[in-house]
Chains A and B, each alone.
Chain A
Amino acid sequence: MRDNQDQIAVSGAPSPALDDTPARLRFRDDAPFESPIAPLADFLAGGNFAAVRIEPGEDARELVPHFDRLKLVEIAFPKFRDGRGYSSAAVLRQAGFTGEIRAAGDVLVDQIGFMRRVGFDSFAPNKPLDPKVVKATLDRYPYVYMKAADGKVPVWALRHG
């Protein structure tokens, strides 16, 4: 018998079905966006969409020329261990995207602190999250060591403010 430890393959599972149910957790003041979400290929093909879905292997940078017509980017997490979506969100924020970035799929409460930091501001988890645990998780760290998309001031800046 083996404890698989950290040695677990992460791909191969299909993404959850495309759905457009509203995000269950949202950290934005604007009105939730409620229209169809296009797969990346359809969006880039020029369809009249204002929302797009990025799968783990897809390149978020392809969206950069289209920010002006984009309100929502939904980033798929078919498996919570597949961390490509963190870079997708970070790439979008660093390129200046200010619309909604939603994490959808196998999104667990112990990830959303990281997700908030790289720029996600809404969450559509497969299984509902306990709001109390969400709050405790997001309030957990008083300081951060490094800059990220959330604008928190890293400790090196606090030290030498």
Chain B
Amino acid sequence: MPRILTGNRLETGDVLWWHGRCWSTQIKDAVEIGAEGEALLASLIAAERINDPTFIEVTGEPGAFVPTTTRERVRASGPSVRADLARGSLSVEAI
């Protein structure tokens, strides 16, 4: 199962997904993380700029990854009870 990397920006709390060389606030930009991930994660933890960096499992194809857990789908979509605040790249219905 593919895995992607997520975390929250220290300054803003924004939910982020790893986009290859930088972070995106949209899960549609997330890239699959391979064996290089462990070193990347270790460097992020050491740098102390991203809170709670972690790998999550997803299904689907790049550009349309869907997290396997409800919690991560809510993070990707926005609160299911406030469709007006949705992030845009994963629909609330997908939760």
Contact = CB atoms under 8 A, between A and B. Distances in A.
Is A in direct contact with B (CB under 8 Å) within the complex?
yes
B77 interface: no
Contact of A3 (B51, B56, B72): B51
Interface string A37-71: 00000000000000000000000000000000000
Contacts of B6: 1
B54 interface: yes
Nearest to A2: B52
B67 to A, nearest CB: 11
Contacts of A3: 51-52
- What bracket does the count of chain B residues touching chain A fall in? under 10
A2 B54 CA distance: 10
Nearest to A1: B54
Nearest to B55: A1
A3 B75 CA distance: 13
Interface in B1-38: 6
Contacts of B51: 3
Interface in A1-27: 1-3
A1 B6 CA distance: 9
Grouping DSSP codes into helix (H, G, I), strand (E, B) and loop, the A interface class, with mixed when no group exceeds half, is loop
Interface in B41-72: 51-52, 54, 56, 71-72
B66 to A, nearest CB: 17
A146 to B, nearest CB: 34
Nearest to A3: B52
A3 B71 CA distance: 13
Nearest to B72: A1
Contacts of A2: 52
A1 B72 CA distance: 8
A119 B6 CA distance: 44
Contacts of B52: 1-3
A7 to B, nearest CB: 14
Interface of B: 6, 51-52, 54, 56, 71-72
9 contacts: A1-B6, A1-B52, A1-B54, A1-B56, A1-B71, A1-B72, A2-B52, A3-B51, A3-B52
